[in-house]
């Protein structure tokens, strides 16, 4: 199903470092009563736990066999990241890192055994991605014709504006709802109401599967495979990467 992949244990340290870079930022916010943070100073899902899980081989790293595939994804069944082959040569890390942050959010929820609707899962991932962009460069730069990315950037902007160096920013419905509605109306997220049952990452050998076997059978990931049904096309201009 989809594009073939192969194990790339040599990339584990690279992926860990990329996620750990984001874990050092001031990210601490709540959407619909669920908290997400960068570091592990608080209970709940956080980016630091993902880099630690990669280091501890609870999460494995694979690459697409084809160098033309520029998509990153997290597969929560076998607990693995699948990343572009160009990372093995250290290519385009800066273009890739915020997408790695996006996928790391899904991994963080998996580690916490979070049950969450797809629309909220993706909301967290996009908001964290744009928080990373803004905190690292000062701006999000979403494509102006992309309602999902524009809405995610506005939530990120709100969180940064409300942050005072400490405390969790609770995002109100008036700020979050435009993002959720944009995801619901996006043809790539017809399964927005799917409940994702993340159930943790236990120590096990890399499986090499692609997909989300822990999700319900009607999940888009199972129907469309690893390289479609995402916002990858929105980033897939020459030299850029996308989300699987």
Terminal CA-CA length for the chain: 14
CA distance 131 to 159: 8
Q: State CA 201 to chain mean position distance.
A: 16
Closest CA to 140 of 158, 123, 124: 158
DSSP 3-state assignment of 139? coil
182 - beta bridge partners?
A: none
- Half-sphere exposure of 68 toward its Cβ, with a 13 Å CA cutoff? 1
Which ranges of the chain have pLDDT less than 50? 1, 209-241
Q: Which helix (H) or strand (E) holds 103?
A: helix 93-111
Task: Check residue 98 and give its pLDDT.
Answer: 83
Cα-based distances in Å from 130 to 73, 102, 142, 150, 159: 17, 9, 9, 10, 11
Task: Check residue 167 and give its pLDDT.
Answer: 81
The pTM of the full predicted model, rounded to 2 decimals, is 0.83
Closest CA to 129 of 35, 137, 119, 13: 137
59 - beta bridge partners?
A: none
Task: Check residue 231 and give its pLDDT.
Answer: 40
CA distance 163 to 72: 29
CA distance 58 to 51: 10
What are the phi and psi torsion angles at 190 (to 5°)?
-65, -20
Pairing of strands 242-243, 80-83: unpaired
CA distance 95 to 91: 9
CA distance 221 to 235: 19
CA distance 131 to 101: 10
Task: Check residue 218 and give its pLDDT.
Answer: 30
SS (H, E, C) 17-41: HHHHHHHCCCCEEEECCEEEECCCC
Cβ-Cβ contacts under 8 Å for 94 (sequence gap 6 or more): none
Question: Each residue of 49-74: pLDDT tens digit?
Answer: 999 999 999 999 999 998 888 888 99
């Amino acid at each position: 199903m989809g594009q073939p992949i192969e194990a790339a244990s040599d990339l584990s340290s690279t992926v860990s470092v990329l996620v750990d870079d984001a874990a050092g930022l001031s990210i601490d916010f709540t959407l619909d009563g669920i908290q997400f943070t960068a570091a592990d100073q608080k209970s709940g899902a956080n980016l630091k736990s993902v880099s630690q899980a990669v280091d501890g081989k609870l999460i494995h790293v694979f690459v697409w066999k084809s160098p033309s595939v520029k998509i990153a994804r997290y597969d929560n069944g076998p607990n693995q990241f699948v990343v572009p082959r160009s990372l093995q040569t250290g290519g385009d890390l800066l273009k890739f890192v915020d997408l790695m942050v996006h996928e790391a959010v899904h991994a963080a929820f998996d580690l916490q055994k979070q049950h969450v609707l797809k629309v909220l899962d993706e909301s967290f991932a996009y908001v964290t991605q744009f928080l990373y962009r803004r905190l690292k460069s000062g701006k999000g730069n979403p494509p102006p014709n992309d309602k999902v990315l524009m809405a995610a950037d506005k939530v990120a902007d709100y969180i940064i504006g409300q942050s005072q160096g400490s405390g969790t920013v609770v995002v109100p419905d008036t700020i979050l709802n435009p993002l959720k509605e944009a995801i619901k109306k996006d043809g790539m997220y017809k399964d927005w109401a799917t409940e994702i049952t993340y159930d943790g990452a236990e120590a096990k050998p890399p499986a090499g599967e692609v997909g989300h076997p822990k999700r319900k059978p009607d999940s888009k990931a199972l129907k469309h495979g690893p390289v479609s049904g995402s916002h990858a096309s929105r980033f897939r201009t020459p030299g850029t990467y996308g989300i699987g």
